[in-house]
Amino acid sequence: MRELAGLYLQQFRTTTAMMFQYRVMLLIWMLGQVLEPLIYLIVWSVVSTTAGGSIGDYTTTDFAGYFIVLMLVNQFSYTWIMYDFEYRVRDGTLSFALLRPVHPIHSDIADNISAKLITLPAMFIIAVGLAFFFHAAISPQPWAILLFIPAMLLAFLVRFMLEWTLALAAFWTTRVSALNQAYFVLMLFLSGQIAPLTLLPNPVQLVANVLPFRWVIGFPVELLLGRLSPVEAFIGLGAQAAWLVLGVLLVQLVWRRGVKEYSAVGA
């Protein structure tokens, strides 16, 4: 544990130095994280206003609150390992990670958490500004705020494990861009990113409840906005825990098999 703590601390220092060195890249990346939910917010606000002030059980200010909270949830749960891992396989840099005494996943987790610690304060300030500008309706219950903390942590871990598993496909295919794009489309529609899931057809909602996408984004958003009962909240936490267990098992299984197939393409 002491060695892992040292690894995480060192990775935080490295990530901090790198992100401040590439400040323009960091700014562009954060801009992308803000613009996508902001576009959805504006579109749904206009549609809601045109429809008389509400669509389903969402008013114009409810849409503002939903997409602003979604921006923060997506920022906290987002990972980039799917897009980065294939380059490690192709250019052979993964070989150096395999020589280390700890599993490479720890370095990725530390790197991801470090990036979030650096960017979340700025994202929070942006979210507060947008909330005032769009008169967002955000009024969570105290119990929902307490449960939001473990829900957000589980959302990050579930998403990280699943996307790390998906990234391991690079051991067999080398290029996984098509697979990543298919995953991204499913995430977009079934997580609640493009629209609140309660506004989608019932079959889509059913699929979203079975697959993990809702539990990593839509569920924490609905929880913080006070749209879930305590029973629904604990059911959601249970679903997240189940998907986390499955994600850990998948990582272990696919990693063991994938490493046997690995050859340093660029070495």
Per-residue pLDDT of 110-152, as tens digits, reads 888 888 888 888 889 999 999 999 999 888 889 999 999 999 9
User: Cα-Cα-Cα-Cα dihedral of 147, 153, 158, 161, to 10°?
Assistant: -170
Q: Which residue has the higher pLDDT, 262 or 140?
A: 140
According to the model, what pLDDT value does residue 104 have? 84
267 pLDDT tier (thresholds 50, 70, 90): very low
Quick: pLDDT tens for 39-73.
Answer: 999 999 999 989 888 898 899 999 999 999 999 99
pTM of the entire structure?
Answer: 0.89
Quick: pLDDT tens for 195-250.
Answer: 999 999 999 999 999 999 999 999 999 999 999 999 999 999 999 999 999 999 99
According to the model, what pLDDT value does residue 230 have? 94
Amino acid at position 122, single letter: A
How large a percentage of the chain has pLDDT more than 70? 93
Which conformational region is residue 92 in: left (phi greater than 0), alpha (psi within -120 to 50 degrees), or beta?
Answer: left
Rounded Cα–Cα distance for residues 142 and 152 (Å): 16
Contact criterion met (CB below 8 Å) for 215 and 239: yes
Which of 156, 154, 218 has its CA nearest to residue 188?
218
